[in-house]
Amino acid sequence: MKKALLGLMCLGLSLASAASSTYRVNLYRATMVNGTELKAGECKVELHDNKVVFKQGKVSAEATVKVETSTQKFLSTTVGYAGDGSGGTLQEIRVGGTTTKVLFEQGNTAVVGSK
């Protein structure tokens, strides 16, 4: 009975983790996500299907994204910005150690701040 219960608990945890993933990302610029400013530095990123939630201390922001799978694993986590200087926008996050690429679509409100 105990083994069956333990097996069910493990299955439940694996299904829950398949539905969402959590990563650590370093933003190298201040970034606005849907009107919320995230400072340059480390933040936690939770990926839920086509939504991403950024958490930095008590501050959190959500954006709609497109998730793609690459053919090869990324060696390190990288954050890509489009444009130059303070007017660029958050374009993608490639998650190190995985094949996951998170794309911020044109018109998304993940905009790099000018600080």
Cα(98)–Cα(94) distance, integer angstroms: 8
What range defines the domain where residue 92 resides?
A: 2-112
User: How much helix, strand and coil, in percent to the nearest 5, is found in the chain?
Assistant: 20, 50, 30
Looking at the structure of the chain, the number of domains it has is 1
What is the pTM for the complete model shown?
0.71
- Which has the higher per-residue pLDDT, 86 or 98? 98
pLDDT at residue 20 above 60? yes
Q: Where are the beta strands (DSSP E) in the chain?
A: 20-27, 31-33, 36-38, 41-48, 51-56, 59-64, 66-69, 78-82, 89-94, 100-103, 110-112
Looking at per-residue confidence, does 69 or 4 come out higher?
A: 69
Three-state SS for 1?
coil
Beta bridge partners of 27: 41
Angle at alpha carbon of residue 91, lines to 55 and 14, rounded to 5° = 50
The band of 10, judged by pLDDT with boundaries at 50, 70 and 90, is very low
* Whether residue 1 has pLDDT greater than 60: no
